[in-house]
């Protein structure tokens, strides 16, 4: 990419998209094409076609998606598979039809089988049954990365895919009904501290293990790969490190300064027992994460405090 290349970031107001925009601007890219959902509905095929015909972006970061935690995925599976499939189909096809030079597709580590060997290597894709609670979302993301590979094979395009681990950071979703575990715990502990609650309830046993990557590291990886990586195989993006949900809760409790107790509700769903990515291929390509978990949680909590009024208003 040249500094003046026309770069379209789909989903620029979301967690990943906003971080990619920050990273591109920091690196001196000046010709960014951005559209809000109100300005361009990516589920509307005709609108997407007209946008690509008019703007003719040279590079595309496809970070737009319908996302949510266990409860949201479990409650609205039809919405998750439909909306994500439509976004992917419309953007990837229009990118091909209008000569986009390179596209990067953002997937998710939930594409891997529920009981995949750990850490999860890229070749474990489609080797077993998916986690039922987010199967609809996973199927959509698998379809997106396969679309990129099939367009490369049939049309000679240069579409690459990355599969991030659990992401967190500024612009995250802190809604207690449909957010992921880390931002939900930040809000839970913060509100419990404010209201002097004696305990915080956490879904599940606290035993499942998860890997977390700060979204600024994710954006750095995306821009790095857009600049340097041109192969058909998708890449895992993560830290290669994991913590239990209980350990995560203890870190967040300390960062927030909450002094009550933790109570684990084992009647609630908790998803896959373990989910750690093998990031050796990414390391071979020359990229490593730089933000460690506690440092990243401190940064995210600061952002939450700065934006608390807006978050509560949602």
Residues labelled as active-site residues:
137
Flag whether 108 is marked binding. Answer: yes
Single out the residue of 244, 182, 227, 136 nearest to residue 15, CA to CA.
182
Half-sphere exposure of 162 (CA within 13 A, CB side): 28
12 annotated as belonging to a binding site for a ligand: yes
Distance of CA 91 to the CA centre of its chain: 18
Any binding-site annotation on 313? no
The answer to whether 180 is annotated as binding is: yes
| C-alpha to C-alpha distance for 49 and 94, rounded to whole angstroms | 6
Ligand-binding site membership of 113 (annotated): no
Produce one character per residue of 36-66: b if its CB has 16 or more CB atoms within 10 Å, e if not: eeeebbbbeeebbeebbeeeebbbbbbbbbb
CA–CA distance, 183 with 301 (Å, rounded to integer): 9
Cα(20)–Cα(8) distance, integer angstroms: 11
Q: Is 167 annotated as a binding residue?
A: yes
Residue 240 in marked binding region:
no
Is 156 a known ligand-binding residue?
Answer: no
* H runs (alpha helix) in 156-238: 181-194, 215-228
The helix-helix angle for 77-97 and 45-55 (nearest 10°) equals 30
Does residue 288 have a known ligand-binding role?
A: no
109 marked among binding-site residues: yes
Binding residues for substrate: 188, 203, 210, 270
Annotated binding residues, as ranges?
Answer: 11-17, 106-109, 141, 164-167, 180, 188, 203, 210, 270
- Indicate the annotated binding residues for NADP(+): 11-17, 106-109, 141, 164-167, 180
């Amino acid at each position: 990419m040249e500094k003046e290349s026309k770069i379209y970031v789909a989903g620029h107001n979301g967690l990943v998209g906003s971080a990619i925009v920050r990273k591109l601007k920091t690196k001196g890219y000046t010709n960014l094409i951005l559209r809000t959902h109100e300005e361009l509905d990516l589920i509307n095929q005709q609108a997407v076609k007209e946008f690509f015909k008019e703007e003719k972006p040279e590079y595309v970061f496809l970070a737009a998606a319908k996302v949510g935690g266990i409860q949201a995925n479990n409650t609205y599976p039809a919405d998750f598979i439909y909306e994500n499939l439509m976004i992917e189909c419309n953007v990837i096809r229009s990118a091909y039809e209008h000569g986009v030079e390179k596209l990067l597709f953002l997937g998710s580590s939930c594409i891997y089988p529920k009981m995949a060997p750990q850490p999860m290597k890229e070749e474990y894709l489609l080797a077993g049954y998916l986690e039922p609670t987010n199967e609809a979302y996973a199927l959509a993301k698998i379809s997106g990365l396969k679309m990129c590979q099939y367009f490369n094979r049939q049309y000679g395009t240069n579409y690459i895919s990355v599969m991030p681990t659990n992401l967190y950071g500024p612009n995250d979703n802190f809604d207690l009904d449909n957010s992921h575990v880390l931002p939900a715990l930040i809000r839970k502990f913060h509100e419990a501290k404010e209201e002097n609650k004696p305990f915080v309830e956490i879904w599940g046993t606290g035993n499942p293990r998860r890997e977390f990557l700060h979204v600024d590291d994710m954006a750095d990886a995306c821009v790095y790969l857009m600049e340097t990586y041109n192969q058909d195989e998708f890449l895992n993006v993560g830290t290669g490190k994991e913590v239990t949900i209980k350990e995560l809760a203890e870190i967040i409790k300390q960062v927030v300064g909450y002094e009550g107790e933790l109570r684990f509700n084992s009647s609630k769903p908790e998803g896959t027992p373990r989910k750690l990515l093998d990031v050796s291929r990414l390391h071979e390509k020359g990229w490593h994460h730089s933000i460690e978990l506690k440092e990243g949680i401190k940064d995210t909590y600061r952002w939450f405090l700065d934006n608390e009024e807006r978050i509560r208003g949602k």
